[in-house]
Structure 1
Amino acid sequence: MGNPVYLAVDTTDVAAASALVAACAPHIGGVKLGLEFFCANGAAGVAAVMAGTGLPLFLDLKLHDIPNTVGSAVAALAPLAPSILTIHAAGGTAMAKAARAAAPEATQIVAVTVLTSLDDADLVAAGVADGAGAQVARLAGVARAGGLQGVVASAHEAAAVRAMWPDALIVVPGVRPAGADMGDQKRVMTPAAALAAGASVLVIGRPITAAVSPADAAAEIAASL
């Protein structure tokens, strides 16, 4: 897959996002634009940031609705040609199948399992008594049955997902270099450890974007791999 580091752009300003991506482009493997950016700028903003970069787009919108609505949304996003697009595995197998059927062949649909901002106590409060590992495994099964290419999961579950689904695309957010601030993430791992655990794509935001020199930070992370 080449460089597994996808830069998580965490600004809604199109010009700032474009400058950030341009500066880091030599040291990253792709660009992640998420819900906040999309709500602020729409498809036109996404296209503006990605224009001329030559990098894959990870469009992280975490779609979750009835199958027909999600399928229609995926079809509407096709002109942006995302390399990776997210839905929520909790939407079920029929929703996953609708998303896959509506997506361009080159777009990999991956399902979010358990957000990395949640820990076992949060899951218990939501009615999931047996913890993140068991819930990720269940939802990975939903994604696979729905014909998707993979899942989004923390690095702590990556090895178990890889064992049950050897060819899955495993997207891992909440990746933090040693000594970095954890922010709002609870289930984290260093980039090298996440790769060793089975990650395919490492989504890294603040350790790069909040650095004095984002380009240098991205280069350092890439070199560590």
Structure 2
Amino acid sequence: MDKRKPIIALDFPDLVTVQTFLAKFPKNDSLNVKVGMELYYQAGPAIVTYLVEAGHQVFLDLKLHDIPNTVGRAMEGLARLGVAMTNLHGAGGKEMMKAAVAGLQKGTPLGQTPPLLIAVTQLTSTSEQSMQEEQLITTSLEESVAHYGKLAQECGLDGVVCSAKEVSVIKASTSSDFLCVTPGIRPKKGELGDQKRVMTPLEAKQIGSDFIVVGRPITQAVDPYKAYQEILAEWNGEIK
């Protein structure tokens, strides 16, 4: 995936809506896009094939979390779709993460590079209070995120999904080249929605995020392409 470009979250219900949205962008513009559960469960693997054949780089955001054997076989199948990146829940544990890495390697066609694999640490909709009360994790949110990051790196993953506010602790706990993919990005004066831990594109860049994921500020904008261009410029330090 191209680190210079934000990842657009295609949180739409079907292929037709995706096509309508993408028609608002230049035809030959290769985008980083995210396909999450809502779209994938409705449109199936065909949506990924459509996007890949259109020249886009796909982050398949299914957040797998199951026994190691099941996750390994699922990843083997997902690797054949040609996605650039996919993910799982770090809470699934080391054996599950190792099985996922092996599955991606086994399923990747000969001569191609396996998709990047990242682990979800704590969802950006999760506050420290809810983590402690509902998950019964007694450490701080930062400690939990750092722990999942270290486990993911030990298991051979490429990085994590985390809030931009936790990037520095992830990098300190792992290494500078361990990827931090950060959702919960909002432009200045943007609506927070259901996100609790957010930053602007410029703030995320300054703190060391490798990729940012942006949904509603682009997909629900009156002019999505203009909104995308503004976030792209801010992400690349052209707007301060």
TM-score (norm 1): 0.94
Residue of structure 1 in register with 2:232 after alignment = 222
- 8 Å Cα contact 1:84-1:107 kept in structure 2: yes
Residue of structure 2 in register with 1:143 after alignment = 152
Distance 2:22 2:209 in 1: 22
1:186 is the counterpart of 2:196: yes
Residue of structure 2 in register with 1:37 after alignment = 39
1:114 is the counterpart of 2:116: no
Residue of structure 1 in register with 2:215 after alignment = 205
Residue of structure 2 in register with 1:123 after alignment = 131
Distance 1:2 1:27 in 2: 15
- TM-superposed deviation, 1:28: 7.2
1:18 is the counterpart of 2:19: yes
- TM-superposed deviation, 1:22: 4.3
Distance 1:4 1:128 in 2: 35
Over 3 Å counting, the alpha-carbon distance change for 1:107 and 1:178 in structure 2 is: same
Residue of structure 2 in register with 1:6 after alignment = 7
Letter in 2 for 1:10: D
The range that moved more, 14-23 or 141-150, is 14-23
Query: What SS class does the counterpart of residue 176 from structure 1 fall into?
Result: coil
Structure 2 residues without counterparts, runs of 5 or longer: 236-240
Query: What SS class does the counterpart of residue 220 from structure 1 fall into?
Result: helix
Over 3 Å counting, the alpha-carbon distance change for 1:33 and 1:168 in structure 2 is: same
- 8 Å Cα contact 1:4-1:200 kept in structure 2: no
Residue of structure 1 in register with 2:238 after alignment = none
Structure 1 residues without counterparts, runs of 5 or longer: none
TM-score (norm 2): 0.89
- TM-superposed deviation, 1:4: 3.3
- TM-superposed deviation, 1:81: 1.1
Which structure 1 residue ranges, 4+ long, deviate > 3 Å from structure 2?
24-29
Deviations 1:123-176 (Å, cap 9, x if unpaired)? 111211222101000100110111100000000101111222211111100100
The range that moved more, 171-180 or 129-138, is 129-138
- 8 Å Cα contact 1:14-1:49 kept in structure 2: no
Residue of structure 2 in register with 1:196 after alignment = 206
Q: Over aligned residue pairs, what C-alpha RMSD do you find? A: 1.6
Aligned length: 224
Distance 2:25 2:137 in 1: 39
1:173 is the counterpart of 2:183: yes
Distance 2:3 2:92 in 1: 31
Deviations 1:57-112 (Å, cap 9, x if unpaired)? 10000000011000000011122111110111011111111111111333111000
Over 3 Å counting, the alpha-carbon distance change for 1:134 and 1:168 in structure 2 is: same
1:77 is the counterpart of 2:87: no
What percentage of residue pairs aligned between the two structures are identical?
39
- 8 Å Cα contact 2:3-2:210 kept in structure 1: no
- TM-superposed deviation, 1:23: 2.8
Distance 1:122 1:102 in 2: 33
Distance 1:39 1:11 in 2: 11
| Structure with a larger share of its residues in helix | 1
- 8 Å Cα contact 1:18-1:49 kept in structure 2: no
- TM-superposed deviation, 1:29: 4.4
The range that moved more, 97-106 or 144-153, is 97-106
The range that moved more, 1-10 or 86-95, is 1-10
Matches within 5 A, 1:84-99: 84-99=85-100
